[in-house]
Amino acid sequence: MADVASTRGLRKAKEDLVRESQAIIKGPDTAKKWLFENELVLKGENLSMMMMMMALQQLFSGRFLQPRDMIHGMHAIAMCIEEIIQTRHTSKPLDTITEQVEDIVKGAKAAVEDLVEGVKTAMKEAEARVLKQRKTGGRDEVERIIEKAVQTTTKPSYAQALASKKSL
């Protein structure tokens, strides 16, 4: 009966230490802070799996004798490993997608710019034709009509003019 009670007591103490660790180390930032304060990592260095392995080796080297420190250390290292894995699996694909999107945008931008230049050129040419037609087109048309009228009508002779006067 005494063994059961002591096992329960140890389990409760362990659960309390885990809850305490979870209250102290809430995320990657507090995990890094704890590891730095306990000299398991160097401040400012990017965390890596190799660095976490070295931190674990230091944690179990006998330097930390209190179960509380061991639990806090394992919890902090686990949080950092999780962040390393998430960053590694999300940043590389994200960088690849970003590069691909940038390439597509550059291509689309170039195509739109070419299209805009083509439209500008066509509009300038059309405007020049319209202006030319306004300046000369109207006069040329009137002159052509007059010339045609002059060519189709013949000057009446003196006799024709007299004959047309008599008929009036």
pLDDT for residue 141? 66
Whether 26 shows a pLDDT value over 70: the answer reads yes
pLDDT tens digits along 101-133: 777 778 777 777 777 787 778 778 877 877 777
Domain ranges of the chain: 2-93, 109-164
Residue 136 has pLDDT above 60, yes or no: yes
Q: How confident is the model at residue 138 (pLDDT cuts 50, 70, 90)?
A: low
pLDDT reported for residue 39 = 85
Q: How confident is the model at residue 14 (pLDDT cuts 50, 70, 90)?
A: confident
Q: What is the pLDDT of residue 160?
A: 64
SS (H, E, C) the chain: CHHHHHHHHHHHHHHHHHHHHHHHCCCHHHHHHHHHHCCCCCCCCCCCHHHHHHHHHHHHHHHCCCHHHHHHHHHHHHHHHHHHHHHHHHHHHHHHHHHHHHHHHHHHHHHHHHHHHHHHHHHHHHHHHHHHHHHHHHHHHHHHHHHHHHHHCCCCCHHHHHHHHHCC
Tell me: the pLDDT tens digits for 34-64?
A: 888 888 888 777 888 888 898 888 888 877 7
What is the structure's pLDDT at 149? 66
Q: pTM, whole model, 2 decimals?
A: 0.47
| pLDDT tens digits, one per residue of 49-104 | 888 898 888 888 877 778 888 888 888 888 888 888 887 766 666 677 777 777 77
Q: What is the mean pLDDT of residues 23-33?
A: 83
Q: Tens digit of pLDDT for each residue in 139-155?
A: 666 677 667 666 655 56
